[in-house]
């Protein structure tokens, strides 16, 4: 290095030197880590050569002790380690290992909430107390989107998963010892998913039909019609918004079930995974309504597009917000503004209410049985109210004849098929 002057090798891997690019005459030492092509440079803050030699030997001994006892040699602030972690995830996204949007989300959380909390803290000083204190700090200093302004527990849980991932990365790079791995997150309540009740769902359709008919401009008629059919498709398939964005016309195939009834099979992709899901024939009708007025109709074109044929990046968010506001359904009972994801929750709730096996539903929705049981367990309590209330005063459970029960289930199935899903549209 050109700026090194007065260089003196004290022993192999340990040198003493001054810098020509600074005004002072203080000494520095550079120590090579044993069996590695890595160096640590330390300012000795003295211009006395003998004192500098003594300090250099002391630092060399300290580094060997740290390596022997798995103590970090290099100090880095959390913000710097977070940058390295994001850079690694960007490389993974470029190789197709994770979605392209994933690094953007990570960067937003790290450079925002996490750096505000501990960005300037040396990563080796982040301990269990720093980890467990994060939720309280976030609630005190953050501002949520909901009407009470409180940061949701789901947001805190997501941010802490990234916090933990950065610390695990630091362990892998040997910036901190393995004891700095934080896997047990503080217990947070689970945010209830605000799905639509059956009454709300029917109200939404009633208002939506009127809402579409009120449009006067051709562009408004098109946008409202597509948004309405989009809602019907999402509520009758349980697709994730990301899967809907990726859906192409080639991914949709007509088929028949074992009893010869017409169904729709859809190949969906999202969250780095893919699967096939099935839907009733009515979903095929909703898709055809969209295709009939779309400019992008080729097999490789996206299904959900703008009026000009470009992929719909927001999935008609503004239109759906307007419709939900008009129907007075914008917020759920817990004060959480409803989003496109609420259609997926509605699908899960209705399917469970109809008695669909949780294992089949988990496979259909591309999720785990555990997740369904955690987030939709309240549905089973209502569905099995006759069993829960059995034996209580004033409660007489209805026990129909088995043949009558089978007939009732068959009639319900036929009625559902006639109305194309959750209700008549």
Q: Which of 303, 288, 289 has its CA nearest to residue 251?
A: 303
Q: 286: which residues sit within 8 A by CB, 6+ positions away?
A: 229, 232, 233, 236, 425
**pLDDT at residue 424 in the model:** 46
User: Which of 145 and 357 is assigned the larger pLDDT?
Assistant: 357
Whole-number Å distance between alpha carbons of 38 and 180 = 23
Q: Model confidence at 380, in pLDDT bands (50, 70, 90)?
A: low
Chain segment 8-37, per-residue pLDDT in tens: 999 999 999 999 999 999 999 999 988 777
* Confidence check: pLDDT of 390 > 80: no
Residues 325-331 have a mean pLDDT of 92
Two tokens, residue 332: 């759920």
**Would you say 159 and 113 are in contact if contact means Cβ atoms under 8 Å apart?**
yes
* Confidence check: pLDDT of 388 > 50: no
CATH number of 199-340: 1.10.443.10
Cβ neighbour number for residue 2 with a 10 Å cutoff: 6
Phi/psi for 119 (5° steps) reads -60, -35
* Confidence check: pLDDT of 335 > 80: no
Q: Where along the chain do its domains lie? A: 4-68, 78-180, 199-340
**Would you say 222 and 293 are in contact if contact means Cβ atoms under 8 Å apart?**
yes
Chain segment 126-136, per-residue pLDDT in tens: 988 899 889 88
Two tokens, residue 413: 């199935």
Count, in order, helices (H) and strands (E) of the chain.
17, 7
User: Which of 101 and 190 is assigned the larger pLDDT?
Assistant: 101
Helices 78-94 & 153-172, crossing angle to 10 degrees? Answer: 90
Residues 393-409 have a mean pLDDT of 49
CA 134 from chain centre, in angstroms, equals 19
Whole-number Å distance between alpha carbons of 221 and 216 = 7
DSSP output for 157-216:
HHHHHHHHHHHHHHHHTTSS-GGG----PPP-PPPPP----HHHHHHHHHHHHHHHHT--
Least confident stretch, 73-82, 223-232, 254-263: 73-82
Whole-number Å distance between alpha carbons of 135 and 153 = 8
Q: Per the confidence metrics, is the pTM higher than 0.95? A: no
* Confidence check: pLDDT of 221 > 80: yes
Two tokens, residue 262: 């017409």
Q: 228: which residues sit within 8 A by CB, 6+ positions away?
A: 208, 209, 211, 212, 323
* Confidence check: pLDDT of 368 > 60: yes
As beta bridge partners, residue 279 has 264
* Confidence check: pLDDT of 220 > 70: yes
Q: Which of 308, 284, 304, 286 has its CA nearest to residue 295?
A: 308
Two tokens, residue 125: 């000083």
**pLDDT at residue 173 in the model:** 84
Mean pLDDT of the chain: 85
Residues 380-409 have a mean pLDDT of 50
User: Which of 302 and 33 is assigned the larger pLDDT?
Assistant: 302
Task: Look at the block and give the residue holding tokens 């009732």.
Answer: 408
**pLDDT at residue 2 in the model:** 74
Task: Look at the block and give the residue holding tokens 């997926």.
Answer: 344
Least confident stretch, 97-101, 182-186, 213-217, 266-270: 182-186
**Would you say 305 and 294 are in contact if contact means Cβ atoms under 8 Å apart?**
yes
Two tokens, residue 416: 């559902």
Q: Alpha helix (H) ranges present in 69-125? A: 78-94, 102-109, 115-118
Chain segment 180-197, per-residue pLDDT in tens: 888 776 666 555 557 899
């Amino acid at each position: 290095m050109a700026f090194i002057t007065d260089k003196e090798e004290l022993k192999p891997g340990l040198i003493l030197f001054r810098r020509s690019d600074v005004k002072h005459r203080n000494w520095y030492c550079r120590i090579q880590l044993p069996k590695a092509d890595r160096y640590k440079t330390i300012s000795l803050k003295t211009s006395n050569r003998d004192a500098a030699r003594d300090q250099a030997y002391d630092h060399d001994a300290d580094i060997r002790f740290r390596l022997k006892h798995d103590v970090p040699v290099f100090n880095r602030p959390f913000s710097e380690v977070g940058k390295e972690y994001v850079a690694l995830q960007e490389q993974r996204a470029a190789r197709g290992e994770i979605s392209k949007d994933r690094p953007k989300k990570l960067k937003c959380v790290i450079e925002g909430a996490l750096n505000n909390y501990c960005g300037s803290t040396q990563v080796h000083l982040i301990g269990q107390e720093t980890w467990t204190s994060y939720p309280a700090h976030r609630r005190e200093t953050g501002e949520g989107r909901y009407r009470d302004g409180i940061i949701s527990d789901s947001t805190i849980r997501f941010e802490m998963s990234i916090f933990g991932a950065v610390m695990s990365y630091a362990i892998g790079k040997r910036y901190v010892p393995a004891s700095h791995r934080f896997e047990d997150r503080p217990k947070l309540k689970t945010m209830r998913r605000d799905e639509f009740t059956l009454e709300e769902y029917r109200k939404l359709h009633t208002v939506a039909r009127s809402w579409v008919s009120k449009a006067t401009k051709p562009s408004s008629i098109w946008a409202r019609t597509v948004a309405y059919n989009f809602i019907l498709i999402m509520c009758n398939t349980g697709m994730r918004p990301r899967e809907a964005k990726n859906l192409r016309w080639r991914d949709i195939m007509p088929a028949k079930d074992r009893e010869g009834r017409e169904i729709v099979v859809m190949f969906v992709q999202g969250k780095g995974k893919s699967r096939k899901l099935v839907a009733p024939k009515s979903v095929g009708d909703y898709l055809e309504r969209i295709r009939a007025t779309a400019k992008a109709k080729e097999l490789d074109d996206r299904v959900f597009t703008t009026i000009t044929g470009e992929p719909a990046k927001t999935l008609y968010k503004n239109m759906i917000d307007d419709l939900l506001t008009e129907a007075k359904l914008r917020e759920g009972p817990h004060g959480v503004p409803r989003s496109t994801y609420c259609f997926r929750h509605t699908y899960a709730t209705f399917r469970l209410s109809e008695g669909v096996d949780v294992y089949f539903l988990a496979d259909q929705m591309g999720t785990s049985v555990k997740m369904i049981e955690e987030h939709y367990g309240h549905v089973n309590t209502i569905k099995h109210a006759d069993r829960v209330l059995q034996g209580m005063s004033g409660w007489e459970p209805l026990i129909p004849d088995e043949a009558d029960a089978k007939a009732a289930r068959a009639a319900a199935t036929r009625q559902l098929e006639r109305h194309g899903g959750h209700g008549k549209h």
